[in-house]
Amino acid sequence: MKKHFYILVALAVFPFAGIFAQCAQTANIYSFTYNGHNYEIVKELKSWTDAAACAVERGGYLVEINDQAEQTMVYSKIAAAGISTTYTQVPDGGGTAYLWIGATDKVFEGNWIWDGKNVGTGTNFWNGQGAAGAGGGLPVGGAFINWGGKSTGTPNEPDDYGGLQDAAGIALAGWPSGTTLLGIAGEWNDLAIANTLYYIIEKNTSGIKENGSSLNFEIFPNPASDFIQFKGIIFNQSIELTIKDISGKTIISQHLSKDTIDISALAAGSYFVNIITENKNYSCQFVKK
């Protein structure tokens, strides 16, 4: 009888504590709205992986920056959130402070995608490295980029310094620290995922990004062996599918009439998918095992 009584007391004192646990405290969140989207700047230290998980828990994804207007707005709000430009120092980022954004090349080195939910797929916007690395990197299909060095006309980043830089952050000052040799405040740098930084969450009120990519669109399984299935597409319309390899060569081009296709004949490697419907353009990346 006493045992049951103690349990009831515990529940009364700590009611549903676990149910309402939050990945971010309200007091540490600065919110704003832009172009029909809601944004949250979270002033709590997390790795890129944990930041993406928290973004999903809060109904969004790590921010996807698609044009200069959005870039300018997002960066201006970092200062408005009261974040010091020296709140942290990232050793592999030139000793400068950053906030996580949703860009990553962790699935396939050098192929940068917007994957703020950390699901392994997203819009491919940049391939290769900047001048501080192997060089030769280029935006995909005229996509917006703001890698360090862009202001000088020659992107220096990403450079995969140390071989572990698989996620992107937006810088709060130039780098290396005290200089603007490789980048200036507001530009992006590739960083090791294990760094713990503040981060920016974006939430779509419509479920669709203005550039046409859908945050509800996913390919699974990923990596895949024989088949891939598409999630988030309505199949009562005309749909065209293109799959390209990492060199840009078209491997498959066909009308898509169902949500599953056979990829068993593809060689192992990374591929990029583009799906065009009557009014949307979906892009993502998958790996064939």
* Residue that finishes a domain, picked among 146, 179, 204: 204
What's residue 207's pLDDT? 41
What's residue 281's pLDDT? 66
Helix (H) or strand (E) holding 33: strand 29-34
Which tokens belong to 289? 């095992």
Domain shared by 277 and 198, yes or no: no
Q: Before 15, cis peptide (omega within 30)?
A: no
DSSP code of 221?
A: S
What's residue 83's pLDDT? 97
What's residue 217's pLDDT? 67
Which tokens belong to 144? 């917006």
Residue 1: inside a domain: no
Asked if pLDDT for residue 267 goes beyond 80, the answer is yes
Give tens-digit pLDDT for 117-164.
998 888 889 999 999 999 999 998 889 999 999 999 999 999 999 999
Q: Before 139, cis peptide (omega within 30)?
A: no
- Mean pLDDT of all residues belonging to the chain: 86
The answer to which of 24-33, 179-188, 219-228 has the lowest mean pLDDT is: 219-228
- 208 pLDDT band, cuts 50/70/90, is very low
Domain containing residue 240: CATH number: 2.60.40.1930
Residue 260: inside a domain: yes
CA distance 203 to 279: 21
What's residue 139's pLDDT? 93
The answer to whether residues 271 and 251 touch, using CB atoms and an 8 Å cutoff, is yes
Contacts of 236 (CB under 8 A, 6+ apart): none
User: pLDDT: is 229 or 19 the higher one?
Assistant: 229
Q: Is 55 left (phi over 0), alpha (psi -120 to 50) or beta?
A: alpha
Boundaries of domain holding 232: 218-288
The answer to which of 57-61, 176-180, 240-244 has the lowest mean pLDDT is: 240-244
| Mean pLDDT on 236-262 | 85
User: pLDDT: is 27 or 284 the higher one?
Assistant: 27
260-262 and 227-231 beta bridge pairing:
antiparallel
Asked if pLDDT for residue 114 goes beyond 50, the answer is yes
Domain containing residue 126: CATH number: 3.10.100.10
Asked if pLDDT for residue 21 goes beyond 80, the answer is no
CA 278 to chain centre: 26
What's the total number of domains in the chain? 2
CA distance 3 to 62: 46
Most distant CA atoms of the chain, gap in Å: 76
The answer to whether residues 255 and 241 touch, using CB atoms and an 8 Å cutoff, is yes
What's residue 102's pLDDT? 97
Domain shared by 32 and 134, yes or no: yes
Asked if pLDDT for residue 240 goes beyond 70, the answer is yes
* Residue that finishes a domain, picked among 170, 204, 238: 204
Which residue(s) pair with 167 in the sheet?
104, 191
CA distance 268 to 245: 10
